[in-house]
Amino acid sequence: MKILVIGSGGREHAIVWTLKKSEKVSKIFCAPGNPGIAEIAECVNLKVEDIPGLLVFARQEKIDITVVGPEIPLSLGIVNIFTEAGLKIFGPCREAAYLEGSKSFAKDFMRKCGIPTAKYEIFYDKDEAIKYVKKQGAPIVIKADGLAAGKGVIVAMETEEAVIALEEIMGNKIFGAAGTKVVIEEFLEGEEATLLCFVDGKYSIPMVSSQDHKRVFDNDSGPNTGGMGAYSPAPVLNKVIENAIINKILYPTVLGMHALSKPYKGVLYLGLIMTKHGPKVIEYNARFGDPETQVVLPRLKTDFVDIILATIEGNLDKLLVEWDSKPTVCVAMTSKGYPGKYENGKEITGIKEAENLGDVVVFHAGTAIKDGKLVTNGGRVFGVTATGKNLKEAVDKAYKAVSLIKFEGAHYRKDIAKRAFNR
């Protein structure tokens, strides 16, 4: 079976790495891929938004299944286009991906379906939004309505911070058209966690839980990033809470999208917060999360190809998905200055030494080859993932691996999974 994976980050490296383990897979292509992916798959020089080019390639190579990693091609309707061309593709159609593509659509959908989430208001006018924020006070949450590469959410602890965020998003258009409309939400207190789910339009199978670390510095300080690390399982999601999430959030979401004639197929990401009133949805994503994928997929025991086919064909109810009980931890290594300005081109050493520790995989996120050497080429450079008999062993192994990887200005959080130990 020939597989095409679309994307170039740590999430896609983890997807390719997992698919590589299947005996059903004869060849994997990745567009555009990265140097880490290139070691286990053939990289193709096509951008994720080049839907016509990707379609031509899939037809020429007689690709059996295409797996979409990032949100942009989903929002551009790649699943609709490939499906109409008679090609199998794993991911939600354009209409279903709107759950991620528009924060206002997602919030209105949750209100309509009775899914627990933060109270909110939608604004098209900057001055009206600022007036509302000043009236409500802080803390308060500002969200650009459209896709903003995981950076369109500002949790403002001071009113002035919220006003500045609105000036930047709606006035200076730092996220482009994504900031034409904003959602302003009440601030919710509680511990966050992620539940990724396979969904085939009618049926759903939750994956093992995980917890991301969004802030750039230790103790959850500094600006939000795309993710500084993750671990699985997340002890905050005990069985009772997980059942509440499945019954009050997952099922109503899947049934609600089906009732709208927008059946959801693919991976549904539930970004959750455990409040004193129970779990509530912070956000939906229409694909695997990053870096959650790097801790969830290494625990998967069932053949990934079987799950993908069952999802596409609507047969998830006939499948038993099994997981390894051993916990996993991922530490993100970033360029100096991330998530702000940073320099590329810093030489990297120590990858082989890190992976030689055993039960360690270094997933490339922002790397390139220059003059025959591996160099940094992004804000998040690696996701260093380790598996252990228990969480402490996994954490210790991950940080030992991180200590062996060297590049100028390397930054990483030193408290990944601390919340689990605090529990």
Q: Is residue 217 part of a domain?
A: yes
The Cα–Cα gap between 355 and 90 comes to: 30
Specify if 239 maps to a domain.
Answer: yes
Is 81 in the same domain as 152? no
* Residues of the domain holding 399: 328-422
Give the phi and the psi of residue 60 in degrees, each rounded to 5: -60, -40
Task: Please report, for the domain that includes residue 25, its CATH number.
Answer: 3.40.50.20
One domain for residues 307 and 357: no
Peptide bond into 139 cis (omega under 30): yes
Which run of H or E residues covers position 123? strand 120-123
Residues 244 and 355 in one domain: no
> Based on the domain organization, do 284 and 385 belong to the same domain?
no
Of 74, 91, 108, the one marking the end of a domain is 91
Flag whether 111 is in a domain: no
Alpha-carbon distances of 282 from 17, 91, 248, 375, rounded to whole Å: 29, 21, 14, 35
98 occurs within a structural domain: no
Question: Is 136 in the same domain as 237?
Answer: no
- Residue 105 belongs to a domain: no
Among the candidates 273, 298, 318, a domain finishes at 318
Same domain, 376 and 403: yes
Residue 160's CATH number: 3.30.1490.20
CATH of residue 287's domain is 3.30.470.20
Is residue 109 assigned to a domain? no
| DSSP conformation letters of 101-131 | H-HHHHHHHHHHHT--B--EEEES-HHHHHH
Instruction: Give the tokens for residue 335.
Output: 């360029």
Q: Are residues 196 and 307 in the same domain?
A: yes
pTM value? 0.95
Q: In tens digits, what is the pLDDT along the chain, a chain of 423 residues?
A: 999 999 999 999 999 999 999 999 999 999 999 999 999 999 999 999 999 999 999 999 999 999 999 999 999 999 999 999 999 999 999 999 999 999 999 999 999 999 999 999 999 999 999 999 999 999 999 999 988 877 788 899 999 999 999 999 999 999 998 889 999 999 999 999 999 999 999 999 999 999 999 999 999 999 888 899 999 999 999 999 999 999 999 999 999 999 999 999 999 999 999 999 999 999 999 999 999 999 999 999 999 999 999 999 999 999 999 999 999 999 999 999 999 999 999 999 999 999 999 999 999 999 999 999 999 999 999 999 999 999 999 999 999 999 999 999 999 999 999 999 987
Number of domains in the chain: 4
**pLDDT score of 149:** 74
Domain final position from 318, 344, 361:
318
Query: Do residues 43 and 143 share a domain?
Result: no
Q: What pLDDT is recorded for position 152?
A: 85
Nearest Cα residue to 312 out of 119, 138, 25, 82: 82
Same domain, 67 and 172: no
Q: Is residue 118 part of a domain?
A: no
Q: Are residues 334 and 295 in the same domain?
A: no
418 Cβ neighbours under 8 A, 6+ residues apart: none
Query: Is residue 53 domain-resident?
Result: yes
In this structure, the answer to whether residues 161 and 196 fall within a common structural domain is no
Around 346, how many Cα atoms within 13 Å sit in the side-chain half-sphere?
20
344's tokens: 């590329």
160 and 205 both lie in a single domain: no
Residue 266 pairs with which residues in a beta bridge?
199
CB–CB of 157/189 below 8 Å?
Answer: no
From the list 357, 364, 359, the residue with the least C-alpha distance to 400 is 357
Relative orientation angle of helices 103-113 and 94-101, to the nearest 10 degrees = 100
Place of tokens 């193709």: 44
Q: Please tell me the predicted confidence (pLDDT) of residue 364.
A: 98
Q: Among 81, 42, 97, which residue's Cα sits nearest to residue 257?
A: 97
pLDDT at site 390? 97
